[in-house]
Amino acid sequence: MSAQEQIKETVDANDVVLFMKGTKSMPQCGFSSRVAGVLNFMGVEYTDVNVLADEAIRQGIKDYSDWPTIPQLYVKGEFVGGCDIITEMTLSGELDQLFEQKGVTFDKGAADKIREHNA
């Protein structure tokens, strides 16, 4: 199976997927840590894919999304964005709206706390 096929299968089989450097319990870069931290704090169930473990996946995800950086968040098969976009969406409430629209369970109170803390 090619890297593109593996990526597509992972994105299609899971409601929320974060392609990141490291894992959700041990991120290995600040940007990945920030996005994983938001998802973890909000109680979102997601699949993490450590791009450092496989060079073909690391490059393949950039080609798959036509997005040059890691991390990359997918929700219900749709590419949402990287660290800056996820941060902005969290602070504006757009990430809450996306999760609600897509039927992804999350802790609204935790999302509100993130916004309160960053106000």
Q: Residue ranges per domain, the chain?
A: 3-117
CATH number of the 3-117 domain: 3.40.30.10
pLDDT tens digits for range 38-71: 999 999 999 999 999 999 999 999 999 999 999 9
Q: So what's the pLDDT on residue 119? A: 82
pLDDT in tens, the chain (119 residues): 899 999 999 999 999 999 999 999 999 999 999 999 999 999 999 999 999 999 999 999 999 999 999 999 999 999 999 999 999 999 999 999 999 999 999 999 999 999 999 88
Question: Known binder of ligand: residue 29?
Answer: yes
Tell me how far CA of residue 116 lies from CA of 2, 30, 91, 93, in angstroms. 44, 22, 9, 12
pTM over the 0.75 mark: yes
